[in-house]
Structure 1
């Protein structure tokens, strides 16, 4: 083998070793992050079991869970669409429906991509679940809470008292996902951030009032209350 070929082989081996070291270092960083996330989640899951430190609060946590579940929000939105008459209300509800559906689609895709399992101390007694709900990352409740609080703050209410209540509700719902043992801390943090991004998407594709009325007009004469 020529000297040139030997140098080339040595260089290739060094590149492979460097790449392997980089991959190993990246894996080590991720392992540290996930290990810390597991420990923090375990410490915060104070309502995960009936005998947990705050296990008596589980019923309240589950009420919060239902308050941000996708099904009640979708059904409530559709019920209001069938009963409102003012065009500005129709605009809000159509865009809210768009946001809710977008949230469900995005969360389902991300959950399928990551397939992270729920915390080991979680009890699978969640309200109205489907197979995708076996996965933990990201938290759909946290994303929905973040998206809804942005939507309500910018499009629904300008009352300071109502704004405070909506903000508190979104934060309490998101926190409850960890307290109840449903999600890891990282799931909730990333879910909340994703919900804000979802609102920004809806804001940029906002359906104007006249278009909303045109979309619903063929159905209103048959289904409107």
Structure 2
């Protein structure tokens, strides 16, 4: 049964990619897949988020800064463990000149899980409603281009979306308080931060 499902996944993914090369807007999207890949790369997000924490030392941001940092680390660990266990190979691109990249494993899509995790957490934490369309568009295009760029099969992306939603729900349940986050920021920066539990 599993072999049949995986075989069908490969067949349908190939059909979607072939169709994507014939439709103008998906072909354009495919051409921008590298930029979208970088925009949701784990290292880029970790480095960027740590920079954001360092540059914007504002107690109003502490809670989202710390909780999202924990969520990003959780996502990277979960995806790495599942990939190491499942060890499904990435699709063989129709264009043999395309780079496969250092990561050989396909299931699940870390980009899809990360995009879904970040989007869900930001929406759950009072993201202004006018920001919904761009962030939802970013999440959707990241997921779609993982298939169009032949980096993942459809099931890989769907699994990544599901994992991202589960991680966001878990983080929502374990959401750290403002005081705890201020204390963590203080310990990381080795400074006394207003609002921290140990502020004197």
TM-score, normalised to structure 2, is: 0.85
Conservation of the 8 A alpha-carbon contact between 1:146 and 1:196? yes
Q: Alpha-carbon deviations, 1:145-167, whole Å to 9, x = none?
A: 110110111115132x2112111
Tell me the equivalent position of 1:16. none
In structure 2, distance between residues paired with 1:138 and 1:99 = 17
State whether structure 2 residue 2 is matched by structure 1 residue 30.
yes
Q: Return the match for 2:99 from 103, 124, 127.
A: 124
Q: Secondary structure at the match of 1:76?
A: helix
- Maintained 8 Å contact 1:65/1:141: yes
Name which of structure 1's ranges 96-105 and 202-211 shifts more when overlaid on structure 2.
Answer: 202-211
TM-score normalised by length of structure 1: 0.76
Alignment of 1:45-56 (within 5 A): 45-46=17-18, 53=22
> Pick from 66, 70, 73: which aligns with 2:38?
66
The question of whether the paired residues in 2 share the 8 Å contact of 1:46 and 1:55 is answered with: no
* Max Rg structure: 1
2:168 & 2:90 partners in 1: Cα distance? 26
By how many angstroms is 1:106 displaced?
Answer: 0.2
Work out which of the residue numbers 181, 184, 189 in structure 2 matches 1:220.
189
Other-structure match for 1:146 = 116
Kindly indicate whether the alpha-carbon contact (under 8 Å) linking 1:147 and 1:198 is maintained by their aligned counterparts in 2.
Answer: yes
Q: Distance in 2 between matches of 1:173 and 1:136?
A: 15
Aligned to 2:54: 82
The unaligned stretches of length 5 or more in structure 2 are 194-200
How far apart, CA to CA, are the structure 2 residues paired with 1:191 and 1:125?
19
**Quick one: distance in 2 between partners of 1:162 and 1:86?**
21
Matching residue of 2:196: none
Match among 98, 105, 109 for residue 77 of structure 2: 105
Partner in structure 2 of residue 135 of structure 1: 105
Structure 1 residue 168 corresponds to structure 2 residue 145: no
| Offset of residue 97 of structure 1 | 0.4
Question: How far is the alpha carbon of 1:71 from its aligned partner?
Answer: 1.3
Structure 1 Cα separation of the partners of residues 73 and 19 of structure 2: 30
Deviation string 1:154-197 (CA, Å, 9 cap, x unpaired) is 115132x2112111111111011000000000000111011000
Moved over 2 A (4+): 45-48, 52-59, 122-126, 218-222
